[in-house]
């Protein structure tokens, strides 16, 4: 049923519960996990052009660290995984990756009910609303 699982990551320690659910799901379905990090370039519009390359380089470095850490975690648990780094609007890039890579399900973190996120729309809310596949969201706030 689930051959390919998409795991968008931000590289923070709060992703641990998402990793646990993803590992469980991947083991049950003998699935491959696609770890995706998106460099959010929406703020670059107001950034001085001579700074963009440095900032992008720094963010891509963070993305490589995040995807490598997730890959190591998954492979240590015997889960087959691959990594992808993209640049753009995170929600749009996640949806595009779902469609182009043939992903069957998405596992991602959410910060629960935060009125500010609900007002402006969080990445996870956008993905849940627009994804053509099931999305498993995991509260990463540490709340029960």
Residue range 56-94, pLDDT digits in tens = 788 889 999 999 999 999 999 999 999 999 999 999 999
Q: Residue 119 half-sphere exposure, CB side, CA atoms within 13 Å? A: 3
The lowest-confidence range among 10-24, 44-58, 87-101 is: 44-58
Give per-residue burial for 14-43: e unless 16+ CB within 10 Å, then b. Answer: ebeebbebbbebbeeeebbbbbbbbbebee
Say if residue 9 is exposed, middle or buried (CB neighbours under 10 Å; 0-12, 13-18, 19+): buried
- State the average pLDDT over residues 33-44: 87
Domains along the sequence of the chain with CATH? 4-139 (3.40.50.620)
How far is CA 126 from each of CA 41, 54, 96, rounded to the nearest angstrom?
17, 29, 12
- State the average pLDDT over residues 2-11: 94
- pLDDT-derived band at 95 (thresholds 50, 70, 90) equals very high
């Amino acid at each position: 049923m689930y051959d390919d699982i998409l795991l968008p990551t931000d590289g923070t320690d709060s992703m641990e519960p998402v990793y646990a659910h993803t590992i469980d799901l991947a083991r049950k379905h003998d699935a491959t996990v696609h770890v995706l990090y998106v460099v959010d370039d929406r703020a670059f519009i107001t950034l001085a052009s001579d700074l963009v390359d440095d900032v992008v380089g720094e963010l891509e470095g963070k993305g490589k660290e995040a995807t490598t850490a997730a890959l190591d975690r998954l492979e240590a648990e015997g889960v087959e995984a691959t990594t992808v780094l993209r640049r753009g609007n995170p929600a749009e890039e996640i949806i595009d990756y779902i469609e182009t890579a043939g992903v069957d399900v998405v596992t991602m973190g959410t910060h629960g009910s935060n009125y500010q996120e609900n007002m402006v729309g969080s990445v996870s809310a956008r993905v849940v609303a627009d994804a053509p596949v099931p999305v498993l969201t995991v509260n990463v706030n540490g709340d029960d």
